[in-house]
Amino acid sequence: MRTRRYGKRQGIRKGLIQMGKMKQYTLSELEDQYIGKIGTPERDKYEYKLRMELLARGVQPATRKKQREVCLR
């Protein structure tokens, strides 16, 4: 019998399906586990970068809109 090999993601999915229910985590639980608790230097750096990314994504469309208005004049 030929054994089917699964990629990393497929193997994880298959294992979770076989186990039954999948455990759910909140975003803050995952951030605490993988980045660090609130107040640690790593967490502060992560939150700063995240805020800057969100700010940039908010400013980009407004800048493009303003540039289009200037070009139309």
Question: pLDDT (tens digit, 9 = 90+) per residue, 20-69?
Answer: 678 899 999 999 999 999 999 999 999 999 999 999 888 888 777 777 77
Is 16 part of any domain?
Answer: no
Domain count along the chain: 1
Is 15 part of any domain?
Answer: no
| 3/34: higher pLDDT | 34
Is 60 part of any domain?
Answer: yes
Which residues constitute the domain of residue 45?
25-72
Is 3 part of any domain?
Answer: no
The Cα-based distances of 35 to 12, 29, 54 in angstroms read 22, 10, 18
pTM as predicted:
0.54
Burial track 39-64 (b if 16+ CB lie within 10 A, e otherwise)? eeeeeeeeeeeeeeeeeeeeeeeeee
For range 2-13, the mean pLDDT: 54
Q: Which two tokens stand for residue 71?
A: 């070009």
